[in-house]
A = this chain, B = another copy of it.
Amino acid sequence: MSDSAETNRFTVQPYEDVERFDVSTDVLVCGFGGAGGSAALEAALAGAEVVLFERASGSGGSTGMSSCEMYLGGSGGTSLQKELGYEDSTENMIAYLETALEERGDPEKIRTYVEGAADHYDWAVSLGVTYKPAVMLARDVVPLTDESLLFTGNERTEIFKRNAEPVPRGHVPSHEGDFGGRIFMDALTGAVEKAGVDIRYDSRVIRLLVKADGRVAGVVAREDNQERFYEARRGVVLASGGFIMNKEMTAKYIPEIHNWATPYGNPFDMGDGIRLGMAAGGSVINMDQAFLSFPLYPPAKLTNGIMVNVQGDRFVNEDAYLARLGHYSSLQDKQRVYLLVDQDDYDHPMYIERLDVVAVGDTIEEIERESGLFPEGALQETVAFYNKFAEKSEDPKFHKSPEWIKPLKAKPFALLDLSFENQTAVIMPGTKGPLTFSLGGLDTLPSGEVISVSGAVIPGLFAAGRVTAGLPRTSKGYASGMSVGDATFFGRLAGKSAASAGSSP
């Protein structure tokens, strides 16, 4: 693997130039993570002959690294939600997603996803993935015990509650510890193998083959240092992940985030599929957006503190989901943000490795003086204002939920430096800033068909997962499980679409 400019140069090759195909099949799928595996499986189950390429030596992709939360609900509730007594109407889930995604949501994808999400849960179960009918209601990131249902977004915050009834929608495979992705990918890999998919590991797709009439009809893959030619009689599915590991692309498309965040994903999230698709005329959208992880919690009690910027002002409801905390923190001057807590709530955020306590004091005035960070009196006023309303369990500025509102009173107080340049994720020691992955990519229909820069469907070409701009479109409105949910759900649709695509004349 190399990150040189050379590897960033993808072009298409005329199908007609190929003298002899090494393999001719119905459907070619590029990438064996959640999206690609799901696509290959459905294509094979629909009767297609399928070859599945993976650049790594095994299946997994970024789904395999994740906890495999899937954001599911609607249709009255998934089997798991129902079993645990939660009702979740399709309209309620749509209302939530529309509130979360604002102008960036794709209405067709939202509706298609929500209408099929409950069935999608049953599909995951059918693969052999086990879920434990227990709910974790704590404010946490992933259950380190084995509950399978949890809140993974902003559902319980005041702003969202105005528009949608809070329901937990994070579905995570049951296992003590954070191994959901491996469990799911093992199950999916088993199913893919059983379905007769021809899997090619250590194989990198480097070019699409395009017919004179514009139809994508094959790929060139580099295997054992040789270029091999594969024909796709029906369709090619791009599912090789986002571009967060490609520094040339992050500098170009997310220049600010590129500067202060840490790429999170598998090493092959190099944007290969996006660039293959672009070379074939595919349009990309939402390229400026990325997920940002700011796990202020657990422990949840830190939520009782207040986050402030260098002006000494608050800027977000501290009970927001970690991705929304990341979004609002990123907008502060030089991404410098701090948490003030009192003695009762002081603790170390579990997911942040390095963290400076910049001041401890019996009064806010002492905190100000010791930290030397704020204009004189600014933090004192912020705390006084906050406390005045906190006595009434109110937060008129940012609408933190009453559950997390209490006056900051217990001495001593501590000020923690959560500035991006001082922040290191526990799961990536030695790094700097919040973890990030890309949320932009090829513009697709819910079917997985790729839209060209001229607005037409590119025949024979499909995409799913973080190769595309899918369901999740912003960190501001991100809920965990949106990305794996999207990748596997629309991966399946893309596989079905490719399998039934009109074969070339």
Contact = CB atoms under 8 A, between A and B. Distances in A.
B397 A11 contact: no
Interface string A445-480: 000000001111000000000000000000000000
Contact of A311 (B281, B312, B388, B397): B397
B375 A103 contact: no
A493 to B, nearest CB: 22
A455 B256 contact: no
15 contacts: A10-B453, A10-B454, A11-B454, A103-B256, A104-B255, A275-B454, A279-B453, A287-B288, A311-B313, A311-B314, A312-B397, A331-B331, A375-B396, A377-B385, A381-B385
A102, A253, A255, A256 interface centre (most CB from chain B within 10 Å): A255
Given A253-B285, A255-B104, A453 B275 contact: yes
Interface string A1-19: 0000100111100000000
A258 interface: yes
Contacts of A163: none
A259 interface: yes
A287 B285 CA distance: 9
Contacts of A403: none
Contacts of A255: 103-104
Nearest to A10: B454
**Closest 7 A-B residue pairs measured CB to CB?**
A375-B396, A288-B288, A103-B255, A278-B453, A311-B397, A9-B454, A9-B455
A86 interface: no
A223 to B, nearest CB: 22
Contacts of A454: 8-11, 275, 278-279
A389 interface: yes
Interface string A192-234: 0000000000000000000000000000000000000000000
Nearest to A6: B455
A288 to B, nearest CB: 4
Contacts of A8: 454-455
A252 B287 CA distance: 11
A357 interface: no
Contacts of A259: 103
Interface of A: 5, 8-11, 102-104, 252-253, 255-256, 258-259, 275, 278-279, 281, 283, 285, 287-288, 311-314, 331, 375-378, 381, 385, 388-389, 396-398, 443, 453-456
Contacts of A398: 311
Given A378-B385, A381-B381, A397-B375, A5 B455 contact: yes
A396 to B, nearest CB: 3
Contacts of A397: 311-313, 375, 378
A270 to B, nearest CB: 14
Nearest to A251: B103
Contacts of A376: 396
Contact of A389 (B375, B388, B396, B443): B375
A462 to B, nearest CB: 19
A102 B251 CA distance: 12
A385 to B, nearest CB: 6
A275 B102 CA distance: 26
Contacts of A285: 252-253
Nearest to A395: B375
Given A10-B454, A311-B397, A377-B385, 10 more contacts: A103-B256, A104-B255, A278-B453, A281-B281, A287-B288, A311-B398, A331-B331, A375-B389, A375-B396, A381-B381
A279 to B, nearest CB: 5
A331 B330 CA distance: 12
A259 B456 CA distance: 25
A340 to B, nearest CB: 17
Nearest to A396: B375
Contacts of A456: 9
Nearest to A375: B396
A8 B456 CA distance: 10
Contacts of A103: 255-256, 258-259
